[in-house]
Amino acid sequence: MTFKNPVHRGGSRRGRFEQFAEYASNFTSSPVFFLFCLLLVGFFAAAHIAHLPLELLLLAGESMTAVTLLLLALLKNAEMRAEHAIQRKLDAIAAALLEAHRDEQGQAFEDLRNAIRMEEET
């Protein structure tokens, strides 16, 4: 188990978890997932209105809790990766501006070129 930032775990390549997190993020932003959540909330409300047995009420509540926790983990992972990509872009822009001020073209311009579209990699 590691407590490193997700962008520092796998080096320059994305690992299986990062790929899974991206696929899951794409799925959770789809209309299909929204419909699933709507059905889950509907089941929760219907279970309480119909006074179903306690086991079904617990199933409905715990299902909603599990989905919420999974979404929270995915959201936090995506947030940290996006934040890191933005910071790297800002660093590259600042370094390129410094080089431009010195009338030089060097590594900072190459870093700036590499930083473009970086959010697709992370």
Domain annotation covers residue 3: no
Task: Look up the pTM and report it.
Answer: 0.58
**CB count, 10 Å around CB of 24?**
17
CB-facing half-sphere around the CA of 91: CA atoms within 13 A = 11
Domain annotation covers residue 11: no
Grouped pLDDT means (10 residues each) for the chain, 122 residues: 56 72 83 91 90 90 90 84 85 79 70 66 58
Q: Are the C-beta atoms of 21 and 78 separated by less than 8 Å?
A: yes
Domain annotation covers residue 29: yes
Domain annotation covers residue 76: yes
**How many domains does one find in the chain?**
1
- Altogether, the residues listed in the chain come to a count of 122
Domain annotation covers residue 41: yes
Domain annotation covers residue 5: no
Domain span holding position 72? 16-118
Domain annotation covers residue 62: yes
Tokens found for residue 52: 């179903």
